[in-house]
Structure 1
C-alpha cells in the first residue's frame, strides 16, 4: 500500500477543513474525549500550629525555657510515582521454541503470544512470501527475511488469530503453504504496543532508542517524556518529498536512518516516534488509515498522567490520545492545524501496529 501523505505541507483540503474548524465557536475537540480538568492525585495540605511554651518545651524536652514559640508544620516532599526506565526499556522478542508449528517450508513460533507477538520464519525457495494474520481484521505482510524470524503483533487483543503463509505463483497470485490458528491470551493489554515488530523495528542500543533515552532524561513524568519526544520529531524531521514520490508498496521504515537523515514520509515520522516512546515503556500505536482523503500514518499514545502536550493534545489518564507528528511538523504548528489534529473525526483508522 502506498502512503498518500505527499508534499512537504499539509494538503489543501486538510488546511481548509482546519480553517473552518478554527472559525467555529468552541469548535476545538480533544482527540477522543471531552477536554476537561482533573485533579491528579491527592492535594497537599499545609498548616501552621501554634503551641504554648509549655507544650512546645515539653515536646522538645525544654520545660524551663519559659517563652511561647510558634512551630510550623513542614511536610516531607512527596515521592514521585513515575518510574523511568534506566536509559531505555526494550522488550526484545524471542523465538523460544516451546510452541512451534511448521511444515518444512515455514515455521511459526507462538511461544510468547501472551506478550503480544508471534515470530515467523520462511525456509522455502520462493522469493515473494506474504503472511496474513486475522482476527476481526485481516493484516497482510511481506515476509522479507529468509531463514530468520520476523516479528508480527497481535493488535486486536486476546482471542483466536488465523495465521496463513503464502508463496507467490505469478503476478499477484499466491498459493497458501501453511495455515494455523493460534489462541492468544495477553498478559498485558498494552504488550503489543510496547514491543518491536516488523513495522516498528528497534533494539537495545539502536540510535532511535538512545535518542529516546536522551530526550526522556530531563522529564519529570510521562507527559514530559511524550512532550520531549513529540517536539523533537516535529522540529527535527522534515518531509521527504523525493521518497514520497518514489515509495513502493511494501516499504518499511528504518527509524535509525530517518533519525540520521532528519527526513521521512508520514510512515517514518510515526514509526520513529513510536519506537522512541515504546523504548521508554510508554504504550504507543502506529496507526494507518485516512485523513483528509489521504492514506496517512499517525500515532496513538497512552499514559497514566493527566495533562496537555503543547496545549492542544489532552491526556485524561484513561484513554488513547491521537498525535500527528507529520501534520504538526509540516503545518508549522498553526492554530488551524492544531484544531484539525485535535478533532479525532478527521482521522479514520484502518490498521494498528
Structure 2
C-alpha cells in the first residue's frame, strides 16, 4: 500500500493496534512515512497526501537525475510530475520529462526546469485542495510545510474521494441529518443524526400554530384566508431553499469572485422580484376567476410577493453570514430555512391580510 492508503487504514484502528501493525513493518522508511501522515489533523492536505513521489535537485546533472529517478520510481505507482528542489528540499518548480530526455547528459537541472508551481500547505483544508486541483486541472498537487519544503503530493484519486465525502455531507445537512451516517448504522445512530432537525421542525410547527392562533379572530371573520396558508408557507420554504442552495454551491466551489454580501443580496432581490411578480400575477388571476372577494385576491398576491422577496433574501444572507464566521453554510439549507420561512411567511401573510381587510 502507498503511504496515504496505509495511513487511512491504520487511522480507524486503536492506538495499540496501530503501534502493533507498524512494529511489524520491515521497511523502516515506509513505516516512518505512515507515522508522519498519522500526525496530521483530519480534513487537512497533510492527512490525505502520499509521501511517494519523484523529486530531483537543481544542482544535479541530467545523467544523475535519470539514475536517481530510476531508484525513486520503484516506490511510485504513477509519477505524474517530477518536482525540483534545492539541497534543503525547498520546492522550486517542476521538470518536463520530455525536455529531460532531449537534453545533453551533462546539463544541470537548474538550466532546464520550469520554476514556480501551485502548492498547498500541510494544514490547507481538503476542500480548498479539491477546488485548486479542479481549477488548474491538476492530476497531482505538491504539498509543502510551513517553510516551503516538499513533503508529499495529493493525487486526483484522493481528491475524488474528498469531493464525494463532502457532497454526501452537504446533502445530508441539507436533508436535515446532522451527522455522517449510513443506512447500515444502528437505530440509535440513525435516530441521533435525524432527531435534532425533526425537533426543530416540530418547534417551528408549534410557533406556526401559535401565529395562526393570534389571528384566530381574523380567520373567523374571513375564513377564506385559511385556504392559502399552505400556499404561502410552501412558496416561502421553496424559494428559501433555492436561494440558499445556489449560495452554498457557489461557496463550496469557490466560484464567487467576491464574498461581499450586499451585491449578492441585490442580485437575489432582483431574481426574487421577477419570480414573485410572475407567481403573484398567476395567483391573482386565479382568485379573480374563482374567488368573489377582491380583498382576498389582492391580499394573497401581495403577501406572496413579499414572502418570496423575504425568503430569497433570507436564503442568501444566512449562508453568507455562516461562511463569514467559519460555520458550514450547508446548515442553512433544508429544514432550517424552510422552518424559519414558514413562520415568518405566516406573519407576513396575516399582517397584510389584517391591513387589507381593515
Fold-level similarity (TM above 0.5): no
Higher relative contact order (CA 8 A, sep 6+): 1
For the aligned pair, the TM-score class normalised by the smaller chain equals under 0.3
TM-score (norm 1): 0.23
TM-score (norm 2): 0.23
More strand by share: 1
